[in-house]
Amino acid sequence: MREFYYKYLKWLGEEKGNNREVILSTRIRLARNLEDFVFPIQATESQRRRILNKVEWVYKNDLNFGGYEFLKLEKLPNLVLESLVEKHLISDDHLDNIKGAGLLVDRDGKLSVMINEEDHFRLQVLSSGLELKESWQRLLSLEESFSDYFKFAFDDKLGYLTSCITNLGCGVRISFIVHLPGLTYSGKIKDFLRKLRSAKILIRGIYGERSKPIAGFYQITSRSSLGIKEEDLIEKMEKMAKKIITEELVTREFLFEEQKRYVEDVIGRAYGILSNARYLSSIEAINLLSDLRFGIYLKMLDIPLKVLDLLMILMLPAHLQLKYGKEMDSEERDGVRADLLRGFLKNYKINPGGVV
């Protein structure tokens, strides 16, 4: 199981200078279903396995998938399944029925296909920072490879048929995980999120539906795709992302200029706790790492963003247990997490002055 600790996270280690200080990641997802098959939630186990077995055959026989791995979820240990959720490669809903469910994923974790989740196929591409157009082309290539073997359910008026009505049409969902400490600490976050909602943007926690925002991290997601062209949706979401980036960075700079001592105190306290704590829950650790991430932008710390972003996944419950090769109760995890973060920060010193 330990090999799954670092696995499929290479995409998160990319460093391209593409507004990563605000846009932690970009995800584009395509929902596709097959003709002559009922949706997965209504399908029999036999029908689900037929689809899964066909994907496995394609994986083994098409050279386009030579850099991928094929996983049958029911054959994986629970800790590995939970780690795949923490990596954003599968969803909690995918685990509701793992009979006949699978994951096709490239070795970087950038391109993947959830098989028999809410739809027969959920094709997705993940990238660090704001990266829409290049990611879209990669996803189209993956869809094209699949369309050589599968006929997707399509209606001339409704577009691609999906199990959820909000995915009808082009079947595209675009989402960003954003980090908004400036807007949060300035007290402007509620008004800003209200403006996003009025623009028909969904705001969720970083693990999607039913999850709550944590420590200034939000998932910003496009709403309905019915009647919208893919290119128009990409353009709309790119403009929205750039507005978020501008608003957040302007607020960070204003906050640092006008309330420098307060900002230094927030980041200094986070560094002090992480450097000395013996127990840390996941939520507390994410809150404190969020403050350090803010401090990196202000040049109070010289930790590479890609390293901190990776650390925020590696210290989550399933990943910690994979690292040590055993199941742990919450108290043991909290102790090991504190040890991990304390050891990590020994390599970095804080610069209280900072520079915007």
Binding residues for ATP, by number, are 25-29, 88, 122, 173-177, 204-209
Helix (H, G, I), strand (E, B) or coil at 290: helix
Q: List the beta strands (DSSP E) in the chain.
A: 23-32, 68-72, 102-106, 111-115, 121-128, 154-155, 159-160, 172-179, 201-204, 217-222
CA 5/CA 273 separation, integer angstroms: 25
What is the amino acid identity at position 6?
Y
As separate numbers, helices (DSSP H) first and strands (DSSP E) second, the chain gives 11, 10
Length of the chain: 356
DSSP state of 116: S
Q: How do beta strands 217-222 and 172-179 pair?
A: antiparallel
Reduced DSSP (H G I as helix, E B as strand, rest coil) percent helix, strand, coil of the chain, to 5? 50, 15, 35
Give the integer Cα–Cα distance in Å for 215 and 176: 16
Q: Three-state SS for 126?
A: strand
- DSSP state letters, 190-241: HHHHHHHHHTTEEEEBTTBTTPPPBTTEEEEEE---TT--HHHHHHHHHHHH
Could you give the C-alpha distances from 241 to 29, 121, 237, 270, 308, in angstroms and in order? 17, 27, 6, 28, 22
**Residue 24 φ then ψ, to 5°:** -65, -40
